[in-house]
Amino acid sequence: MKKFQFTLSLFTITCFTMLAQNERIEGIIIKNFGETFNVESLDIKTNTSEEFKVIFDVSQSSKDKSVINKHIVTAARFLNMHANEGMKKEQLKVAMTIHGGAWQDVLDNKTYKEKYGVDNPNLELINELTEAGAEIIICGQTASFRGITKDNANPNVKFALSAMTALIQYQKNSYTFIKF
């Protein structure tokens, strides 16, 4: 009986340890989005003394228009995981181009709701990202084609001539390009 209790206790402790390792960590910079995981025993250490400048390129959206765009959430995850690793917000420069199939994600709530019958699930995320210093950029070519103007877009979104133009300019300013 004692052997069984010991084995059961060991099993329970192991299960709790495994579960604890898979718990999501709330973000330091973006509180409501972009939870991350603690990763132990890293072979490639994060250089927390550097500045990380990244531009994400997002051209896809969720098929279900009531679901947040997971590619936009990636920017929140990027900020949070590096802040959780000890980097300061000032060291993390994030920009994101939105074009192609992701155009509707930058609409204001009124326009989005008229078009899809639900609130824009990306609105709060984009607002939190821009409050944290991220720049969300809509491709001007996509915007023109889709009828997006400053009157019907999230006011935190910036307009560029094109996504291509913004990507070139940011990369020339040492931003690393990440495509989804």
CATH of the domain at 106: 3.40.1260.10
Q: What is the pTM of this model?
A: 0.85
- The predicted structure's pLDDT at residue 43: 95
Tell whether 141 is covered by a domain. yes
Tell whether 17 is covered by a domain. no
Tell whether 22 is covered by a domain. no
Q: pLDDT tens, 3-55?
A: 545 444 444 444 444 444 578 899 999 999 999 999 988 999 999 999 999 99
Tell whether 169 is covered by a domain. yes
Considering only CA atoms, which of 81, 134, 127 is closest in space to residue 105?
127
Q: pLDDT tens, 122-150?
A: 999 999 999 999 999 999 999 999 999 99
Tell whether 172 is covered by a domain. yes
Where do runs of H (alpha helix) occur along 22-150? 70-84, 109-116, 123-131, 140-146
Residue type, 47: N
Q: pLDDT tens, 69-98?
A: 999 999 999 999 999 999 999 999 999 999
Tell whether 117 is covered by a domain. yes
Contact assessment for residue 99 and residue 141, using Cβ atoms and an 8 Å cutoff: yes
CA distance 111 to 59: 20
Which H helix or E strand runs over 163?
helix 163-172
Residue range of the domain that includes 168: 27-32+50-179
The number of distinct structural domains making up the chain is: 1
